[in-house]
Structure 1
Amino acid sequence: MLKSELRKLYKQKRQELTQLDIERLQDNLYQQIFNVAISDVKHIHIFLSLSRFKEIDTKPIINYFRNQNKQIVVSKSNFKTNTLSHFLLEEDSEIEINSYGIPEPVNAKPITEQELDLVFVPLLISDKRNYRVGYGKGFYDRFLSNCRNDVKKIGLNFFKPIAEISDVNEFDIALDDVIYPM
């Protein structure tokens, strides 16, 4: 299927999940995430969840890695350039909702893409080759293309990967792994 069709289908599938479904799926995801090898990781980039889109709640993930003495990094979105800038998320960091409804840090210390060791990537669906369908603006593909070659890229999803996304292009970046409920 084409990305546009998959985007529509999996947005709908996610909206159909009940709160009980989400809690069960998240518990499974959290157990897998908490087993990710992080001994050589210092900076972990993660997205701040959009509850209205029923995204995976990343607060427990942030708290877990913070308790492992890892530096948590989150992004601010620039919708004029479809790019992300990155900032340390300290325990006392203030979060504001931008005009697009996205939670973002305020007055936080900037971090470059080159400093990141592990990136958790939001997605709607992925395929067995670890390509992903996101919301369609290319923010994460641009961001990941600026990271070090050895940065670990892990997608988080409620749904099992499909066989193939048919319209993958040269700008799409495959993930190293996708974690989904088993």
Structure 2
Amino acid sequence: MDKSTLRKVYLEKRKFLSQAEYERRNELLYHRLIKFLEDNHFNSIHTFIPIKKNKEPDVFPFVQYLWSEKPEVDVITGVSDLQNPIMHHVKITQSTTFLENKWGIPEPKDGESYLIDKIECVLVPMVVGSKGGHRIGYGKGYYDRFLEKCSPNTLFIGIALGPLLDGDLYKDQFDIGMHRMITPFEIRDLGKPI
């Protein structure tokens, strides 16, 4: 299968998860993220805000955990430029108001601008990921463009609700490899990006 077929197949698989299974996987994912945080220290974590109607991984409980238990950690998210495939980055807090953009992505209505080179960890959404550290997203290139601008020391964490696949998922020259993959089923340490 090529990338676009894999994307379509795995978006459909996720869409047809029962609500109970979706919630179960998110609970497992939450505990793996907490475990990961216990083993690592960050001053800043960039996260996506899930589109729940698309059954994206719900990392928002983890964000709330950071706000309540790790207030010293800056939580950042992206705001998509709808004219160009780039994101602007802002710090979010418990008082941040979110509005959906035209793709249904919740984005902060306000927030303090945040410099990319200060971001220490990025949670990267995946439609599907591979054991080799590669990911397939929605195909618009926002994350690949963002990640290539990050500091060489920034840790990239691929997040998915499904199990990782064998192989490299048709890696191309623009793809940025992940350092870790976290799913409800495992935390995979891949070291430096590929």
Range of TM-score over shorter length: over 0.9
Aligned equivalents of 2:9, 2:138: Cα separation in 1: 12
| Equivalent runs, 1:79-90 vs 2, <5 Å | 79-90=82-93
Aligned equivalents of 2:143, 2:124: Cα separation in 1: 8
Q: Render the CA deviation track for 1:63-95: whole Å, top value 9, x for unaligned.
A: 112221211101100122111110000111121
1:145 is displaced (CA, Å) by 0.4
Alpha-carbon RMSD: 1.3
In the alignment, is the contact (CA less than 8 A) between 2:7 and 2:137 conserved in 1?
yes
Matched, 1:136 2:135: no
Identity %: 30
TM-score (norm 2): 0.89
Aligned equivalents of 1:163, 1:9: Cα separation in 2: 16
In the alignment, is the contact (CA less than 8 A) between 1:49 and 1:56 conserved in 2?
yes
Corresponding residue number in structure 1 for 2:107: 104
In the alignment, is the contact (CA less than 8 A) between 2:136 and 2:169 conserved in 1?
no
In the alignment, is the contact (CA less than 8 A) between 2:47 and 2:122 conserved in 1?
yes
Corresponding residue number in structure 2 for 1:43: 44
Aligned equivalents of 1:97, 1:79: Cα separation in 2: 12
User: Moved runs in structure 1, 4+ residues, more than 3 A?
Assistant: 37-40
In the alignment, is the contact (CA less than 8 A) between 1:158 and 1:181 conserved in 2?
yes
Specify the SS of the correspondent of 2:64.
helix
In the alignment, is the contact (CA less than 8 A) between 1:3 and 1:165 conserved in 2?
no
Name the aligned partner's letter for residue 68 of structure 1.
K
Name the aligned partner's letter for residue 44 of structure 1.
I
Aligned equivalents of 1:166, 1:118: Cα separation in 2: 23
Aligned equivalents of 1:2, 1:65: Cα separation in 2: 37
Q: Render the CA deviation track for 1:115-149: whole Å, top value 9, x for unaligned.
A: 10111010110111110000000100000000011
Corresponding residue number in structure 2 for 1:59: 60
Corresponding residue number in structure 2 for 1:68: 70
Name the aligned partner's letter for residue 41 of structure 1.
F
Name the aligned partner's letter for residue 22 of structure 2.
I
In the alignment, is the contact (CA less than 8 A) between 2:131 and 2:167 conserved in 1?
yes
Aligned equivalents of 1:42, 1:117: Cα separation in 2: 7
Structure 1: where are the runs of 5+ without partners? Answer: none
Name the aligned partner's letter for residue 14 of structure 2.
R
| Equivalent runs, 1:159-178 vs 2, <5 Å | 159-178=162-181
Specify the SS of the correspondent of 1:141.
helix
Specify the SS of the correspondent of 2:49.
coil
1:166 is displaced (CA, Å) by 4.4
TM-score (norm 1): 0.95
Name the aligned partner's letter for residue 46 of structure 1.
T
Structure 2: where are the runs of 5+ without partners? Answer: 186-194
